[in-house]
């Protein structure tokens, strides 16, 4: 029985407190709106609690362990003895980071006088929804609403989540390092978590349906990652289609096909990472005029406005890449649109990052994509191995590649594979966003010795006058 239901009038109601929702709420509050935010889960959404932040914490810990474990083989002359992992402590450290992050979000929301509600949101009309929290339910009538409910891992029928078959959520919460792990799906989540557990000592096999892991990236960009995965003992099966699973109390056997050959493999756990599904099916949107596609995505215009003019949607519930930074960006646009500003989304460049070893980052067009769009391409590529800072870090795998229009020198894309690629991509993202040319990058004085010089060097290669590379 639901008790205590009454109706409250609110100005802007944000449904979902992830990186899209809480950013939208703060921006709306900055613009003078009275804002209420509701979420059934912890503040920060999947990103802070079960995705971006915890996964990067485990990735960092695994990387540190790998360096220490192989210190005897290092050319640096620093040797660590009796290196071991206390995985319980690793998980405690990870949870500590999550607590700081979510606490920070709560402080920001309260500091902007945003009302925080706990509960499940269910629309009952175009201007009203119910918030259910246990046996309590209250109605909220809103002038404007922003839907930012995110997504969840896709579950395959032959591989139902349970004790031995995991989504990324359960994998991040494991109490012990698995002895063996089969990863179904060689996209960025599968590669990141597979490589992480391999560094911790897990016997890992990745099954990928296409002809390479990380199929959205160019083959040459993926090669250094593939090399390091194999170096860590990871088995990679491409063109592999998972068929079925047989579970026992202690393990699970996966049957899969490579072309016409049927194979099987047994491991302690199976991790399924084949994509994510928008959280729109339990919002009661059928009680509204909000249009939803067959895939469950909400249709929006360039201001993130749905088919109901005062309801907006952002992040993983709308079309486009399921990225936290995209959601945050859209949240600002939606809040500003509600405040009467002329803000619109501009997806000219959205950087993509894989926190693998080495890291991969890309933005704009690849060389192949640029040629397909009719550009006469000027491409400049410079290797980490020739960079002094990379050598001093013992991180010489990888390269920076810049793509430009040969006729004008306009920078239109870049791919980076190597140490700190996730940070380095920001310079080229800004360059494309502001309409910079190769000369703008090449003539910018970059501090020495830094990895940032790789970007300058790649621009010089594209211009045809590199200093630190001999060309024919």
Residues taking part in catalysis: 448
**Residue the block writes with tokens 């380095």:** 424
Backbone phi and psi for residue 373, each to the nearest 5 degrees, phi listed first = -85, 0
Q: How far apart are CA 18 and CA 213, in angstroms?
A: 29
Backbone phi and psi for residue 351, each to the nearest 5 degrees, phi listed first = -70, 145
Q: Per this entry, what is the length of the chain?
A: 472
Contact partners, residue 259, CB within 8 Å, separation at least 6: 239
Contact predicate 145/310, CB 8 Å: yes
Strand order in the sheet with 352-354: 352-354, 360-364, 411-417, 399-405, 377-383
What are the structure tokens assigned to 206, written together?
């990745």
Contact partners, residue 21, CB within 8 Å, separation at least 6: 14, 15, 37, 39, 45, 146, 148, 149, 314, 315, 331
What residues does 271 pair with on adjacent strands?
166, 183
Q: How far apart are CA 324 and CA 350, in angstroms?
A: 11
Interior CA angle at 384 toward 380 and 386, to 5°? Answer: 90
Among 203, 202, 228, 201, smallest CA distance to 213 is for 228
- 393 φ/ψ sector (left φ>0, alpha ψ -120 to 50, else beta): alpha
Q: How many helices (H) and strands (E) does the chain have?
A: 13, 22
Among 26, 9, 8, 7, smallest CA distance to 17 is for 26
């Amino acid at each position: 029985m639901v008790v205590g239901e009454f109706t409250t009038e609110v100005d802007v109601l944000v449904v979902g407190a992830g990186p899209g929702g809480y950013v939208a709420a703060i921006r709306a509050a900055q613009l003078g709106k009275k804002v209420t935010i509701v979420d059934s889960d912890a503040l920060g959404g999947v990103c802070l609690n079960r995705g971006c932040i915890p996964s990067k914490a485990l990735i960092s810990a695994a990387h540190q362990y790998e360096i220490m474990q192989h210190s005897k083989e290092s050319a640096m002359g620093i040797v660590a003895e009796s290196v071991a992992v206390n995985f319980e402590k690793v998980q405690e450290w990870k949870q500590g980071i999550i607590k700081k992050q979510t606490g920070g979000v709560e402080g920001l929301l309260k500091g902007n006088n945003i009302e925080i509600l706990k509960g499940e949101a269910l629309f009952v009309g175009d201007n009203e929804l119910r918030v259910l929290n246990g046996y309590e339910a209250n109605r909220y009538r809103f002038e404007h609403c922003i839907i930012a409910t995110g997504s969840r891992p896709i579950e395959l029928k032959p591989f139902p989540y349970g004790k031995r078959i995991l989504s990324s959520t359960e994998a991040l919460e494991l109490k012990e390092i698995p002895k063996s792990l089969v990863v179904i799906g060689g996209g960025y989540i599968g590669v990141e978590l597979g490589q992480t557990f391999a560094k911790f000592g897990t016997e890992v096999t990745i099954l990928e349906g296409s002809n390479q892991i990380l199929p959205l990236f160019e083959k040459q960009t993926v090669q250094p990652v593939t090399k390091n995965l194999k170096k860590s003992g990871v088995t990679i099966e491409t063109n592999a289609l998972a068929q079925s699973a047989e579970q026992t109390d202690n393990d699970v056997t996966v049957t899969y096909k490579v072309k016409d050959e049927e194979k099987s493999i047994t491991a302690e756990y199976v991790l399924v990472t084949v994509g994510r599904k928008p959280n729109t099916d339990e919002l009661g949107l059928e009680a509204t005029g909000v249009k939803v596609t067959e895939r469950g995505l909400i249709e929006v215009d360039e201001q993130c406005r749905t088919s109901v003019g005062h309801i907006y949607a952002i992040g993983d519930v709308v079309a486009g890449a399921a990225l936290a930074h995209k959601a945050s960006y859209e949240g600002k646009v939606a809040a500003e649109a509600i405040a009467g500003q002329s803000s619109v989304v501009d997806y000219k460049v959205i950087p993509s990052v894989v926190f693998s070893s080495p890291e991969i980052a890309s933005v704009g067009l690849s060389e192949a994509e640029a040629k397909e769009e009719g550009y006469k391409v000027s491409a400049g590529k410079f290797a980490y191995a020739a960079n002094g800072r990379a050598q001093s870090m013992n991180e010489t795998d990888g390269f920076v590649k810049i793509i430009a229009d040969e006729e004008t020198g306009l920078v239109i894309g870049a791919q980076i594979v190597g140490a700190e690629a996730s940070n380095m991509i920001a310079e080229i993202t800004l360059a494309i966003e502001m309409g910079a040319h190769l000369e703008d990058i090449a003539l910018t004085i970059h501090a020495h010795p830094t990895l940032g010089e790789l970007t300058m060097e790649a621009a010089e290669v594209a211009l045809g006058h590199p200093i630190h590379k001999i060309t024919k």
